[in-house]
């Protein structure tokens, strides 16, 4: 249970799910006053990540209701704490998944706060003061400045918002697999959703040959023509999957539902690496034969550290990478969540929280 938090005096209007029906309704709540290490942000846009859907439906059994989702946040700074030197009033900023970490462990000290074992998230987390964190489906956010990044001037705030989670979640493993500095690799992206579509754009910008592995034949043209993918494999078509065997160096699996890794592993060359970032509620199947016959490796990756998140934003600024979005008003969040659950979005819903866009 959250502690009493007397300095939570600021009234905020937001949207929350109250139970595992996942239905979102308006929610008025309190946020802390702006502390010495904090910045206050007027939220402009917030992306709808599939993780939000997992949370509102309590897929993972960890949701504390009412939950105010949202960790793909862009906005403008309206207050700056006395210890904050790197942000000023009016700055265009972003907040992703992280709200707090211990700041002392080896991971925090090496800019890998995302692997701190006391990590707390932007929503459905417990902040240092014991309060439950509420996310970006709300008009104002108080954030510790160490978990805030600058948004490059050339990126629009709406289409940049999903970079704060989808973007960093695929950038971090790409960097880890040396895909930033060594072009010409053969990269596979499984699942062409919010994470997947930005992964395709990044992998192309970094000079790789990209294969999309998808359950949706209807996405093939867009994948190639709009997003720049070189090849498209329909994962339910055994012949296509057979032709793709042993062709890829690295694969990122962004799939949100239970599936088998066996056919995906077969697509890797000997010694290839599969990075799982999708987080289905039930265990994915891992047959051992495709693993051992190809000496393949599987690893996971969870969002990214803050230094890396700023680097990702700057790289996106440099390459002009943004997300393909469907902008909605807050009163359409429930329809958007329903469509996301049906895999019916190209490729990310973004909520116009501040109501500044023409819709
Ligand atoms: P999304 O937009 O819904 O995309 C997921 C894609 O997976 C879909 O577009 C679909 O692509 C594919 N898919 C859906 N159901 C499938 C099924 N039954 N079998 C095979 N493929 C299926 O979701 P997202 O926002 O990109 O998030 C994807 C997952 O990553 C979620 O589980 C989310 O919680 C997780 N996530 C993890 C991290 C992390 O730090 N590791 C961060 C953010 C999100 P096709 O139509 O192309 O098949
Ligand atoms: Zn997310």
Find the mean pLDDT for residues 5-24. Answer: 96
Cα atoms found within 13 Å of the Cα of residue 158, Cβ hemisphere only: 18
Q: Could you tell me the distance, in angstroms and rounded to a whole number, from the CA of residue 257 to the centre of ligand 2?
A: 15
Task: Please state the pTM of the whole predicted model.
Answer: 0.97
Q: Could you tell me the distance, in angstroms and rounded to a whole number, from the CA of residue 234 to the centre of ligand 1?
A: 16
Strand partners, 28: 13
Strand partners, 80: 39
Residue 348 gets which letter from DSSP? E
Q: Using an 8 Å Cβ cutoff, are 32 and 10 in contact?
A: yes
The 10 Å Cβ neighbour count of residue 105 is 16
pLDDT of residue 6: 83
Tell me the per-residue pLDDT of 100-156, one tens digit each, with 9 for 90 and over: 999 999 999 999 999 999 999 999 999 989 999 999 999 999 999 999 999 999 999
Q: How confident is the model at residue 356 (pLDDT cuts 50, 70, 90)?
A: confident
**Ligand 1, pocket residues at CB < 6 Å:** 49-51, 54, 165-166, 169, 191-196, 214-216, 219, 254-257, 259, 277-280, 301-303, 340, 343
Atom of ligand 1 nearest to the CA of 192: 47
pLDDT of residue 2: 55
Tell me the per-residue pLDDT of 197-232, one tens digit each, with 9 for 90 and over: 999 999 999 999 999 999 999 999 999 999 999 999
Q: Could you tell me the distance, in angstroms and rounded to a whole number, from the CA of residue 349 to the centre of ligand 2?
A: 12
Q: Could you tell me the distance, in angstroms and rounded to a whole number, from the CA of residue 238 to the centre of ligand 2?
A: 31
Closest ligand by atom to 70 CA = 2
Q: Could you tell me the distance, in angstroms and rounded to a whole number, from the CA of residue 13 to the centre of ligand 2?
A: 21
Q: How confident is the model at residue 5 (pLDDT cuts 50, 70, 90)?
A: confident
Q: For a substitution probing ligand 1, which of 63, 210, 254 has the most ligand atoms within 8 Å of its CB?
A: 254
pLDDT of residue 1: 46
Distance CA 143, CA 356 (A): 22
Tell the residue nearest (CA) to atom 9 of ligand 1: 193
Q: For a substitution probing ligand 1, which of 46, 47, 50 has the most ligand atoms within 8 Å of its CB?
A: 50
Tell the residue nearest (CA) to atom 46 of ligand 1: 216
Atom of ligand 1 nearest to the CA of 347: 2
Tell the residue nearest (CA) to atom 11 of ligand 1: 191
Distance CA 359, CA 357 (A): 6
């Amino acid at each position: 249970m959250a502690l009493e938090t007397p300095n939570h005096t600021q009234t905020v209007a937001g949207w929350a799910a109250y139970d595992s029906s996942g239905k979102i309704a308006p929610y008025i709540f309190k946020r802390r006053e702006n502390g010495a290490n904090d910045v206050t942000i007027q939220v402009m846009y917030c992306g709808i990540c599939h993780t939000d859907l997992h949370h509102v439906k309590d897929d993972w059994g960890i949701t504390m209701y009412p939950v105010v989702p949202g960790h793909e946040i862009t906005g403008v700074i309206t207050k700056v704490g006395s210890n904050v030197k790197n942000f000023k009033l009016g700055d265009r900023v972003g907040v992703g998944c992280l709200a707090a970490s211990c700041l002392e462990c080896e991971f925090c000290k090496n800019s890998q706060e995302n692997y701190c074992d006391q990590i707390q998230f932007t929503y459905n987390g417990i902040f240092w003061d014991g309060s439950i964190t509420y996310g970006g489906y709300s008009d104002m956010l108080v954030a510790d400045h160490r978990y805030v990044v600058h948004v490059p001037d050339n990126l629009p705030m709406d289409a940049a918002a999903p970079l704060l989670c989808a973007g960093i979640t695929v950038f971090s493993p790409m960097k880890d697999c040396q895909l930033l500095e060594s072009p010409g690799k053969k990269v596979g992206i499984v699942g062409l959703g919010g994470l997947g579509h930005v992964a395709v754009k990044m992998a192309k910008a970094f000079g790789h040959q990209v294969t999309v592995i998808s359950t949706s034949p209807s996405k093939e043209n867009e994948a190639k023509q709009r997003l720049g993918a070189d090849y498209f494999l329909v994962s339910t078509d055994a012949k296509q999957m057979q032709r793709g065997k042993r062709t890829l160096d690295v694969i990122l699996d962004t799939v949100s539902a239970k599936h088998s890794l066996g056919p995906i592993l077969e697509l890797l060359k000997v010694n290839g690496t599969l990075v799982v970032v999708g987080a289905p509620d039930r265990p994915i199947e891992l047959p051992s034969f495709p693993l051992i016959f190809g000496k393949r490796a599987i690893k996971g990756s969870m969002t990214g550290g803050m230094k890396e998140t700023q680097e990702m934003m700057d790289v996106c600024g440099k390459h002009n990478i943004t997300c393909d979005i469907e902008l909605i008003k807050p009163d359409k969040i429930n329809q958007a969540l329903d469509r996301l659950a049906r895999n019916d979005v190209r490729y990310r819903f973004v909520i116009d929280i501040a109501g500044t866009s023409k819709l």
